[in-house]
Each structure stands twice: as structure tokens, then as C-alpha cells.
Structure 1
Amino acid sequence: MAKRILVVEDNDLNRKLFCDVLKSQGYVVEPVGDGRVALESARSFVPDLIIMDIQLPNISGLDLIEAAKLDPALRPIPVLAVTAYAGKGDEERIRQAGAEGYLAKPVSIGPFMAAVKGLLAQVGAVAG
């Protein structure tokens, strides 16, 4: 069965790029452009992985990651943070919020897919 990935990204071009790349690799993808509905979408879609932009309007991706890790239904789902925040301490702060993976924008397809496959393999190892 195809792995399910929720893509939370407010930038239309980035969201489309991530979704197109993931779909081309056989994943079932649910795009979300508004962080305010991200956790609700995650509960209904039940993804195997959440790709989370950190700089979202109205709500921080950091806050969403922290909220997901407090929710018993969402806690086991790994989060790959994709962000323009690439300064000193940013990755550590994002990982402390609960993200299992971190990529700085601009994202290249190779490292992006390697991170996605790596996190999904961890899920498979835990589930299996």
C-alpha cells in the first residue's frame, strides 16, 4: 500500500513541487496550504509522514509540530521540517519541538527524497 504524506506549505509553488515529486514516486499526497487546518487534516488523512513548513501565516510550524507531538493520534507520525530558517540554532530548536527531520530551503530533490525515504523507513521499522 502506498505511503501517505501530508504536505503543509503555504507557498503554492513549493507545495506543488513537493506534491508532484512525491506523487511521481508513488506516494499518496494531501496538500495543505493553511497551517490552521493542518492538524485537522492530519487527523482525517492519517499520513505516514508530515512535511511541515515552519514559516506559515497565522500559525508557526513550530507550534504545529509541538501540538502534533502532544496529540496521541498524531504523536507517532514523523515530521520533516522544511524551512528557510537555516541560522545557527534553528535546526536544534525545530528538532526540540519534535521534528524528526530538517531540511533548509531551497531544497534539492535528491536530499528531499532521501529525507522522506529515511523517515518512512523508520516508520516501517517501528511498525514492522
Structure 2
Amino acid sequence: MKKTILLIEDNEQNSYLTTFLLETHGFNVVAAPDGSIGIDTAKKLIPDLILLDIQLPMMDGYAVAKALREVDSLKPIPIIAVTSYAMVGDREKCLAAGCTGYIEKPINPETFVAEISTYLRS
């Protein structure tokens, strides 16, 4: 059965590339353009994994991660921050907000799917 990944990303180019890579490798991808839509979608969908941009309009990814972690049915779901924030302490800030993992942008198309796959339960 295909694993479903929720992609919360406001940049169309990033969303297109990520979706293309994941769908090419057999994943089902559902995209949300901002945090509030992402939270609502996650509650309805209960995806296998959530990819979360940190630089989102209106509600940043840290707030989204915290809100997702407050929903009982989403607590076991891995949340991976995919962000251009790459300064000292940014990874720790993402993890403290409730993210399971952290991948820097720009993503490496050759290794991205393998990185994501490590967070998925079989």
C-alpha cells in the first residue's frame, strides 16, 4: 500500500519538485499551501509522514509543528522540517517545536527520497 505524505509548503517550485520526486518513488503526496490548511488536512488525512516548510505565511512552521503535536491522532506521525534555515541552532529549534527530523533546502534530489524513507515505519 502506498504511503501518504502531507507536504505543507507555500513555494510552488519546491512543492512541485518534492511532489515529483516522491510520486516517482511510489508515494502519494497531498499538498497544503499554508499552515492552517496543513493542520486541517493532517487531521482529516492522518498521513504516514508530514513534510513541513518552516517559512510559511501567516503561521510559521514552528507554530504548525506545535499545533500538530497537540492532536492525539497525529502524535505518532513523523514531522520533518524541510527548510532553508541552516544556522547554528536552527535544527534544535525545529526539533524543540515538535519536528522529528530536519532536512536543509535546497534539497538534494539524489538523496531526498532515501532521507525521507528513513522516517517511515514499514
Please, what TM-score do these two structures have when normalized by structure 2?
A: 0.95
> Corresponding residue for 2:70?
70
> Corresponding residue for 1:3?
3
Secondary structure at the counterpart of residue 86 of structure 2:
coil
Higher helix share: 1
Q: Structure 1: 5+ residue runs without aligned partners?
A: none
Give the aligned residue type for 1:2: K
Query: What is the number of residues matched between the two proteins?
Result: 122
**Contact conserved, 1:8 with 1:51, CA < 8 A, in 2?**
yes
Give the aligned residue type for 1:85: Y
Q: CA deviation at 1:111?
A: 3.1
Measure the CA separation in 1 of the matches of 2:110 and 2:80: 15
Measure the CA separation in 2 of the matches of 1:18 and 1:50: 12
> Corresponding residue for 2:43?
43
> Corresponding residue for 2:17?
17
- After TM superposition, what 4+ stretches of structure 1 lie above 2 angstroms from structure 2? none
Overall identity of the aligned pairs, in %:
39
Matched, 1:116 2:116: yes
Residues 13-55 of structure 1 show CA distances to partners (whole Å, capped at 9, x for unaligned) of 0001101111000111101112221111011122100000000
Measure the CA separation in 2 of the matches of 1:22 and 1:82: 14
Secondary structure at the counterpart of residue 110 of structure 1:
coil
Q: CA deviation at 1:110?
A: 2.8
Q: Structure 2: 5+ residue runs without aligned partners?
A: none
Please, what TM-score do these two structures have when normalized by structure 1?
A: 0.91
